[in-house]
Amino acid sequence: MRSSQRSGRIAQATVRRLNWGCGAHVADGWINSDVKQEPGVDLVADIRRGLPLDDESVHYAVSVHALPELPYPELVPTLVELRRVLKPGGALRLVLPDLDRAIEAYQRGEECYFKVPTEEVSSLGGRMIVHTLWFGFSRSLFTLDFAEELLAKAGFEEVCASECGRTASPFGRIVELDNRAGESIFVEARKPLGAAPDAEDRRVSAAARARKAKSRPERALEVLDVAVDPGSAVKGDFVVRQSGARRIELAGWALCADEAVSELQILADGSLAARTLPAVERADVAEHFPEIPHAAGCGFWLELIAGGRGSSQLELFALLASGIRAPLGRILVGEREGGRWR
């Protein structure tokens, strides 16, 4: 019987973690790798020619919005190279732009979803296209099932959807690089402990997972209460909308007269569940606060997907540039099964 590396957390002192395709977003305690030389990049290499890392030398790897810059024929070979440097049982976490979400935002006419200035592209369809291709830098687009298929073809197992700030792996710090939650897919996979499963093994495992998911009763999530209550440090407002059986969306704005809001954070029962940047244009807020220079871009949008059971207290905070975490309000969510609350 093979032993499982999921039985406990690995001591942090022994862990080697790879931040592949980091660009300018380097992180302390990580091997920061990119094809271009940037300040703080430890490993300048083109993964298509191989990474200068030994086989099975990294415990886990993360890539945030880097894979889209490669064309389709290079996707699986790139994932195979990442699998090569991982230790047996090591984890790979991908953060990818979500094409499904972009299409849904377009169909809803949700202008604020697309981070393309209107002076650059005025039509909604044009903004969706330029956003999904990110001004021409992206060469591949992703949906969740496509990402799962690519990882399986590359020889990974236990491929599963994840959430911003949460992991099914034994590596707690693997979520440190998570960002852009409102527009991204989060997916994790594990390098097999032994030989990689063949295509038939993966097909049978996928079918078994599908049967298991189908047998579980769906528990609908509902918003029970919303309290908008910004503290003295910030001004702000937000609305909550249910967008699926277990999804909710938050849209609003947060503003501090003395310093910029650097990030919006959602805490679920005290633990960080999601974060996003204040990057949505809010001309209405800028008109109301003309004396505050950064009011025009103080809007935000994020989505949460429930992963646990029972009710949860969500708290929304604005993280200021000085490090102060200022409250904006609270959301109480719960779930029902067969008409009964849990």
- Say if 8-98+142-213 and 220-341 have the same CATH topology: no
Per-residue confidence at 19, pLDDT binned at 50, 70, 90? Answer: very high
How much is the pLDDT for 310?
Answer: 60
In the chain, what are the domain boundaries? 8-98+142-213, 220-341
How much is the pLDDT for 181?
Answer: 92
| Alpha carbon distance 29, 267 (integer Å) | 25
What backbone torsions phi and psi does residue 140 show, to the nearest 5 degrees?
-135, 145
Average pLDDT score over the chain: 82
Mind listing the pLDDT tens digit for each residue in 153-198? Answer: 999 999 999 999 999 887 888 999 999 999 999 999 999 876 444 4
Of 279, 277, 284, 274, the residue nearest 316 (C-alpha): 274
How much is the pLDDT for 307?
Answer: 61
| Alpha carbon distance 158, 151 (integer Å) | 10
Dihedral Cα 34, 36, 39, 43, nearest 10 deg: 40
CA torsion sign for 274, 276, 280, 283 is positive
Dihedral Cα 320, 326, 329, 330, nearest 10 deg: 100
Mind listing the pLDDT tens digit for each residue in 127-164? Answer: 999 999 988 889 999 999 999 999 999 999 999 999 99
Task: Find the farthest-apart pair of alpha carbons in the chain and give their distance in angstroms, rounded.
Answer: 68
| Alpha carbon distance 26, 186 (integer Å) | 19
One-letter amino acid of 245: A
220-341: CATH number: 2.60.40.10
CA angle 199, 201, 203 (to 5 degrees): 70
Mean pLDDT of 194-213: 46
* CATH superfamily ID and name for 8-98+142-213: Vaccinia Virus protein VP39 (3.40.50.150)
* Residues near 263 by beta carbon (within 8 Å), at least 6 away in sequence: 275, 276, 277, 278, 318, 319
Mind listing the pLDDT tens digit for each residue in 269-299? Answer: 778 888 877 766 778 888 888 888 878 878 8
Mind listing the pLDDT tens digit for each residue in 85-135? Answer: 998 888 999 999 999 999 999 999 999 999 899 999 999 999 999 999 988
One-letter amino acid of 2: R
